[in-house]
Amino acid sequence: MKTAELKLCPPEPWPAPWRPRRFGPRRMLSVLVLLAAAISAGCVWNVPEPVLIREPRPEPVPIRVGVYYSPEFQGYTYRHHFSVTAWILGEPSAKLIREALALLFIEVVEVPRPGSGPILRGDLAGTIEPRIVSAQAVYFSEEHIKAGVDVQPVHITYGFTLYSPRGESVASWDVTGRGERPSSNLVDADSNRKQNFEQAMREAAWKLTSGFHEIPEVRRWLAEQASRKD
């Protein structure tokens, strides 16, 4: 008679004690590659902090408007192909324009939808939607090199569309600001570029507040608003 053979699974080996992995040249190389990739992908970022011009103050418009900041506008980033620095322009632009519109109108309300649909509040005379049309930093400006000054100019153009309460486009216009301050040395090139972006944004915001009444369609719209009140 054969006895049944009891087959048992071989016992699991005890786990080896944890040892830190060696930081060999391969690992070092992969870390370096990852680092280089991160830098080339624009992981170094810089945020300009423009200051709004409050004096001479613009003539205030006695109406309430809505403003819609699109996600594209708020998330706008600029990076020159020469540089690893990404310039975060959307957020500071939204802050600057928020302050500029608050200086221009008696009340500004942020609305969750663009002006192409019905707006939420009935007392708003219209909705303004800002956008960044273009932003650019020039690293080798031939014009400035010829003039013998070390300038790396930047510019920013904001576009604005004013919508009626029914969502029709009333006016659309652009304002451009430039920053052309010379750099004092090579070391402060990025800091200088930041100042130039701040100057460009500030100038563009100044053109918005000081030139708002000069746009013909806006002037007509303001006249309509005034006649409605009367």
The site string for other proteins over 34-53 (x = CB under 8 A, - otherwise) reads -----------------xxx
24 binds other proteins (CB under 8 A): no
Among 11, 56, 71, 122, binds other proteins (CB under 8 A): 56
Residue 9, SS3? coil
| Residue partners of 211: CB distance under 8 A and separation at least 6 | 175
Q: Which residues pair with 135 in a beta bridge?
A: 156
State the CB neighbour count (10 A cutoff) for residue 151: 18
Closest CB to other proteins among 11 and 56?
56
Residue 127 binds other proteins (CB under 8 A): no
| Candidate ranges 7-15, 54-62, 70-78, 211-219; the one touching other proteins (CB under 8 A) | 54-62
- Which one among 54, 121, 219, 220 touches other proteins, defined by CB under 8 A? 54
Single-letter residue type at 112: P
Q: Among 210, 176, 178, which Cα is nearest to 195's?
A: 178
Report how far residue 217's alpha carbon sits from residue 208's, in angstroms, rounded to the nearest whole number.
14
Q: Which residues bind other proteins (CB under 8 A)?
A: 51-56, 147-150, 180-184, 188, 192, 195, 199, 206
